[in-house]
Structure 1
Amino acid sequence: MRKVVQLVLIGLITMALAACNSSNTKTQGKEEKGKITVGGKDFTEQHILTKITSIYLKENGYEVDEASSMGSTVARSALENGQLDVYWEYTGTALMVYLKQDVETDPNKAYEKVKDMDKKNKLVWLNKSDFNNTYALLMRKDRAEELNVNSISDLADLVNKDPNTLKFATNSEFYAREDGLKGLEKKYDFSFPAKNVVKMDTGLLYNSLKEGQVDVTVGFATDGRIKGFDLVTLEDNNMFFPAYNGAPVVRQEILDKYSEVGDLLNELADKLNGDTMKELNFRVDVKHENVNEVARGWLEEEGLIN
């Protein structure tokens, strides 16, 4: 009986020591790196960016919590309140929605403005990526080539010459906004006849173009369906659409505690561009690949992780 008691005591002591060592190791790990909460909004591109960021930080020794699928204003408020530590934001969204500034179409000016204005909120805009997820006018590649339309100016000239040639698909928001269809027509000096403008839900726009129900649609510049449906983006040669370049935005407190985080996230920002985002979005939205696998695969391809 005494031997049994001794064995039980030894077992309990061993377990206690193991737990203590585990706790110490965990504590030491937090002291070396730390815990970071990565947020993201509720659409494919943001899911990919959230996963890329989370995986990369984890691979570099940080404990990461994810808070994805958030509304835009919810994500921003969570960052300001310290519930999030970092998420990817778009310059145009921050400028117009959160900071209540006028539209800025120049990517560099938009970035410098939000970067400067958010200092008072103790939020740091890290490097601006080259991907610009702004509005775009899209056509099927074969139709654009047939009509020799490469830019919005080309489109405007065609509509002015023959107003009934093209049908245009739009959602209700773009149709009604001054920085949407109305402003676009004013900027490029043309007008689609009302009977040739088809309003529909956002989710139907790309398929209606793919299936030839319309000739032109509004979309987003980094959408994966541009590649998947063999579409082309018309050049916004008069720079009408606002700049919506993505960038990691981090609380200043996090960079003060973990200075390495800024360098790591800048590496990601510097490697992402419009073609890359279209490809990643295509793989998730059109090929239906797993977001986690797409994100990890890209990090491995870029040599950022093993």
Structure 2
Amino acid sequence: MKISFSRTLAAGAIRLLSIAAVALSVMATSATVQAATLTIGGKNFTEQLILSEMTAQYLRSKGYDVELKNGLGSVVMRQGMESNQLDVVWEYTGTSLIVYNKVTEKLDPQQTYERVKELDGKIGLVWLNPAALNNTYAFAMPGKMAREEGIETVSQLIEKFRANPDMQFAFDMEFVGRSDGLDPMEQLYDFHLERRNIKQMDPGLVYTALKNEQIDAGLVYTSDGRNKGFDLKVLADDKGFFPAYAATPVVRKEVLDANPKLADELNALSAKINDENMRDMNAKVDIDHRAVSRVASDFLKQEGLVQ
């Protein structure tokens, strides 16, 4: 009986130790996958809505707790990063170079990236690997109008304007006042628009106005699917005014330090994005009227980034 009792005690102790070991293992595993809370910011146009939504879904699949704040203006989003209210955003190299860092020197795409990486790094904002996506600005005309008049370049558009000073141009709300916007472009191309020539509107409405030939020319994004879908003629920037705008994930340094895998995870995402598939996603939202969340989800699954 004594032997049996001892064996019982031993067996019970082993069971208790096993249970404790399992509990500790579960706790350790839970601690490993415990999600950091990340706040992702996005701007107020289709491409940014897609990129921010895509990033939120992707990082949630990696175990992070994510809060999404999109629909922001460029300056507001930048302020959010500098004040630690946002952790991860997709930013464009040209925007940081000219608007935030006030650099007016003409740089090639790689120089632009290296410069903003250096300058923003000084304030704790880390530029990761850029996507193969250059969403720069361009002037566009209704395709039929451009073909009839043989207009291929911005210089040719300006010549037409000089002969027809009542032409109407449409811009988004930011471009007219930006340091990389209308004023320096007027100086380079040697023209001037009066107030009566300018219509300021939401970027989406610029496309609608061009499609309906309600304006003569408007500011568009080169990666927007509506350029092709609405038969718009994107004019060559023959004097090289617009800088490179490579879309890149930007993260606060302290957030990267606290989440050692985050940089590699975001670089894996940016490696899958390019001009062609971004135009396709933009068109699905703007022309086919698909939900941003669905377009983002489909892309992540298609590229094998989520299950």
TM-score scaled to structure 1, two decimals?
0.78
Deviation at 1:73, TM superposition (A): 3.9
Q: Which residue identity lines up with residue 128 of structure 1 in the other structure?
A: P
Matched, 1:199 2:199: yes
Deviation at 1:197, TM superposition (A): 2.0
Deviation at 1:85, TM superposition (A): 2.8
Instruction: Tell me how far apart the structure 2 counterparts of residues 210 and 155 of structure 1 sit (CA, whole Å).
Output: 17
CA contact (8 A) 1:41 1:47 kept: yes
Equivalent runs, 1:187-226 vs 2, <5 Å: 187-190=188-191, 194=194, 197-202=197-202, 204-226=205-227
Deviation at 1:135, TM superposition (A): 2.5
Instruction: Tell me how far apart the structure 2 counterparts of residues 176 and 234 of structure 1 sit (CA, whole Å).
Output: 22
Q: 2:135 aligns with which of 109, 133, 136?
A: 133
Q: 1:303 to 1:151 in 2, by over 3 A?
A: farther
CA contact (8 A) 1:105 1:240 kept: no
Q: 1:255 to 1:176 in 2, by over 3 A?
A: closer
Equivalent runs, 1:234-273 vs 2, <5 Å: 234-273=235-274
Instruction: Tell me how far apart the structure 1 counterparts of residues 146 and 279 of structure 2 sit (CA, whole Å).
Output: 20
Match of 2:66 in 1: 65
SS at match of 1:232: strand
Matched, 1:88 2:94: no
Q: 1:247 to 1:32 in 2, by over 3 A?
A: same
Deviation at 1:290, TM superposition (A): 1.5
Write the deviation string for residues 97-125 of structure 1: whole angstroms up to 9, x where unpaired.
43343365633222111101122222210
Structure 1: runs of 5 or more not aligned: 1-16
CA contact (8 A) 2:99 2:179 kept: no
Equivalent runs, 1:1-306 vs 2, <5 Å: 25=26, 28-32=29-33, 34-43=35-44, 44-59=46-61, 61-69=62-70, 70-102=72-104, 104=106, 106-159=108-161, 162-163=163-164, 167-170=168-171, 174-175=175-176, 179-190=180-191, 194=194, 197-202=197-202, 204-306=205-307
CA contact (8 A) 2:92 2:247 kept: yes
CA contact (8 A) 2:166 2:197 kept: no
Write the deviation string for residues 138-160 of structure 1: whole angstroms up to 9, x where unpaired.
11222222222222133234445
Q: Which residue identity lines up with residue 64 of structure 1 in the other structure?
A: D
The number of residues matched between the two structures is 284
Tell which structure's C-alpha radius of gyration is larger.
2
Instruction: Tell me how far apart the structure 2 counterparts of residues 248 and 173 of structure 1 sit (CA, whole Å).
Output: 22
Instruction: Tell me how far apart the structure 2 counterparts of residues 294 and 92 of structure 1 sit (CA, whole Å).
Output: 26
CA contact (8 A) 1:227 1:278 kept: no
What fraction of aligned residue pairs are identical, expressed as a percent?
Answer: 39
TM-score scaled to structure 2, two decimals?
0.78
CA contact (8 A) 2:172 2:200 kept: yes
Deviation at 1:295, TM superposition (A): 0.5
SS at match of 1:271: coil
Instruction: Tell me how far apart the structure 2 counterparts of residues 122 and 176 of structure 1 sit (CA, whole Å).
Output: 27
Q: CA RMSD in A?
A: 3.1
Q: Which residue identity lines up with residue 235 of structure 2 in the other structure?
A: L
Instruction: Tell me how far apart the structure 2 counterparts of residues 81 and 165 of structure 1 sit (CA, whole Å).
Output: 44
Structure 2: runs of 5 or more not aligned: 1-18
CA contact (8 A) 2:124 2:253 kept: yes
Instruction: Tell me how far apart the structure 1 counterparts of residues 160 and 242 of structure 2 sit (CA, whole Å).
Output: 20
CA contact (8 A) 2:36 2:259 kept: no
SS at match of 1:40: strand
Deviation at 1:83, TM superposition (A): 3.9
CA contact (8 A) 1:171 1:200 kept: yes
Instruction: Tell me how far apart the structure 2 counterparts of residues 281 and 144 of structure 1 sit (CA, whole Å).
Output: 24
Deviation at 1:49, TM superposition (A): 1.0
